[in-house]
Structure 1
Amino acid sequence: MSELYNIIDKKKLDVVTKPISKAHGLPNECYTNKDYTLIERKKLFEDKWVAIGVASSLPNIGDAKPYDLLDLPLLIIRNKQNKIKVFHNICSHRGVKLVHKEGKIKNVIRCPYHSWSYNFDGELIATPHIGGMNKHTHPQFNKSKSNLKEIRSYIWLDLIMVNISNNEMPFDKYIKPLSDRWSKFWKNSDRDMIKHSNDYGYFKLEAKCNWKFAIENYCESYHLPWVHPGLNSYSKIEDHYHIQGLPNRFAGQGTVVYNPRLKGKEKFPCFPNWPKNKENIAEYVALFPNVMLGIHKDHFYAYWLEPKSNDLTLEHMEIYYVGDNAANSKKFKSLRKQNFKLWEDIQKEDVDIIQGMQIGRKSNVYNGGNFSPAMDNPTHHFHKWVATNIAQ
């Protein structure tokens, strides 16, 4: 790890993992240094399970999306068996990027350079003139050794999760601590009911800051009175509790006063197995590194981050309801619109703050941050996760 310690003083990382009363946050270099970001890409985004989109955004066979993860080109496609597949988005011939725009691919993934073509399972099926003019095979060339490189993937609550290095434990085991926690709210049959809203189910925000600031901010409720005065008027800071998931893969907060203030006679249907004695509880958990989840009795959302560089992040909000009627019928359209506006306004308030933190990290007197031993535990949890994993 000499490369890492040429960028960051090891002592600055060691202090992050100390008990919260003695710890500082991650040093400035973790937010401002481009070379460090490449280390983070490997340690946090290639070696861990990360979100790169949602399956419902590719509803039909042949739907394809390119996705660049900190300049690493990936391709998401729905194959002819109606399954999501993820590949490295490069031709095995000369390494040209295959797909540049989101859209529907009719029959084959065709390279724009020499027209080598792949089916939706990544198999190389056509190599024009590889053996000379009008000779499309060659006895010394084995197509099966030049298929697209598939990336390990798993669909969970519509999220497309990938483990690029293929080194992590199976995702169902990885997510089990959080699934077990949320089993007190909903059963498998409830989770199967979530439906993405087609009209007010998605928005995207641009944050001119490092992706970690969004996670740090999401983990804690300490900022509510000053950043979200509207929200804090009915879900006050004292109504929240901390969540620190062990093993250290997630952290966040919960509220005991969830009571949606949406206008109109109608109310969203609730998850059938949500306990009556937990109707006013909602939880907001960051699944490291890049997913922020919100679970409520009447809707669910996944707010996932797309890091573009050390100081630019795209934030994607996906909103789900209980059944297709709640998600897409005219009956609940007004409620969906109100709920959409509520979350969009709240997240915009957060963007203003986290962009300010990026500016602050240019100060050479800032020590990474001093934590409140009472209020910042989930955020410190995340800082420790980053420091521990990049130093491995």
Structure 2
Amino acid sequence: MFAQDDLSSSDWKMTQAKMFFEDGQTENALEIYLELYQDFPTNDFLNLRIAECYNDIYDYENAYAHLKNAIDNNPSSEYLDDINFWFGRTHHKMGDFDLAYSYYEKVKKGTELIDSLYVQNLMQQCLSGKEIYENKGNYFSENCGPNVNSEYNEIFPVVAFGEDKLFFTTDRKVNEHQDGHPSTGLCDYSVMESYIKEGQFQKAVVPDQVFSNGKDYILTSVGAGNGEFILYKNSPEFEDNGDLYYLLLTDEFDVSQPVNMGETVNSIKFEGAGSLDFINQKFYFSSNSNNKKSEEKDIFYSNKRNSNFSNSLVVDEFNSELDEDFVYIHPGGDFVVFASNSGKSMGGYDLFISVLKDKKWSEPVNLGYPFNSVEDERQFSLSVDGQYAYISSDRIGG
């Protein structure tokens, strides 16, 4: 898939770089590609691959430069559709919605149906993004700072009701016995907590919970009193893409382990992002069990009674033909926030809100900018006083 006359002596390096990229080791792949670039600076396929890497690490200016280099030196490139697609993605991520739309439009005309539908959704996101940005909200977003965030991933902010603290999940190293993955350096997930004093986050620590310290659980919701927990874990040996777990601790000395919620909630497919309305005892989560190809996720709910959960039902009002995931139900059940990558998004996952009125869910509405951006916004949690919302985002500075 590349010009043999130009790169035939370096085929192995191209293959090695591709393997790194597909394994999530983008910077290792980019290092090899840039080494090859010294010898083949005008090669269209190589510049395309470099641009993909730069996109993956959010360096859109360099991505654009290499795409321009590819097309300027190869105006009739056999990879023209790919180059135009990545021009579209790069402009989209830079917030240039009109330019992104024009490049997507070029690509859409020459693609197969399934790819055409994907590109069509991106085009719709450009239209949505332009409108959302022009009507941005009167609020601001701010990084939670170094006492919470690190160079690693911090996901699923969860407000602790009854206490001024924030739970979150991270893949950083939290104890001396942990070893990072040999290719990525990331550790198994740990749950951490940060107390909030006078509006400032205190240094995050690992709480004294059975699921916290490198056990690879993701905490997605807590009940009243912080003794009730909803967790997600992907256990590869089960070959089910991950299940939801429930844990109720009666006191500080309780060492019970999280319990799989069972077949009324979990299936042989993915279930995750569980959120508990502990007032009305309703439980919401995402799953791809409603999709034959196990691709798109939908939002489901289940009624909770004691520590048991009823058979799950899909919530049609929330779901589209694409992904709906990362659901948050506000205690009391008056509104839901979830992430969707539908055409009403600015780009990737955006956060949407639906309000319960007269026992009916309203049509989901995009929370707007700056809640959302052209990057992925996933999890949402609201402070007890309703003054602050905590989100997980891939945006630059996040």
TM-score range, shorter chain: under 0.3
Relative contact order higher in (CA < 8 Å, ≥ 6 apart): 1
TM-score for both structures, normalised by structure 1 = 0.26
TM-score for both structures, normalised by structure 2 = 0.26
